[in-house]
Amino acid sequence: MKKFLTALALALCCAALLVGTAPAKDNPAKADAKSPAPAKAEPLDPARVKAAEEYWKAAQIAEMIQDSMNRMSMRIPENERDKFKEEISSKLMGSGRIKKETVETAARTFTSQELDALSKFYASPEGRSSMEKMPAFMAQLSRIVQAELVGLMEKARAEQMKKEEAEKAKQDKAAPKDKAPAKAPDAKKAK
How does pLDDT run across 11-33, given as a tens digit for each residue?
444 444 444 433 344 444 444 44
Residue 183: per-residue pLDDT: 60
Short-list 122, 126, 87, CA closest to 106: 122
- 112 shares its domain with 142: no
- 3 shares its domain with 73: yes
| Mean pLDDT along residues 46-54 | 95
Q: Who contacts 45 (Cβ-Cβ below 8 Å, separation ≥6)?
A: 28, 107, 112
- Let me know: does 71 contact 9? Beta carbons within 8 Å: no
Residue 135: per-residue pLDDT: 82
- 96 shares its domain with 133: no
- 140 shares its domain with 89: no
- 109 shares its domain with 143: no
pTM over 0.85: no
Give a yes or no: residue 65 inside a domain. yes
Give a yes or no: residue 31 inside a domain. no
**pLDDT level of residue 2 (50, 70, 90 thresholds):** very low
Residue 106: per-residue pLDDT: 95
Range of the domain at 161: 129-170
- 107 shares its domain with 162: no
| Count of domains forming the chain | 2
Q: How far apart are CA 109 and CA 21, in angstroms?
A: 7
- 86 shares its domain with 165: no
Residue type present at position 66: Q
- 9 shares its domain with 74: yes
- 56 shares its domain with 84: yes
- 104 shares its domain with 148: no
Residue 65: per-residue pLDDT: 84
Q: What is the pLDDT of residues 127-160, one digit of tens each?
A: 999 988 988 898 899 899 999 999 899 999 999 9
- 65 shares its domain with 14: yes
Give a yes or no: residue 1 inside a domain. yes
Give a yes or no: residue 63 inside a domain. yes
Residue 186: per-residue pLDDT: 59
- Let me know: does 115 contact 51? Beta carbons within 8 Å: yes
- 91 shares its domain with 162: no
Give the residue from 123, 141, 162 where a domain finishes. Answer: 123
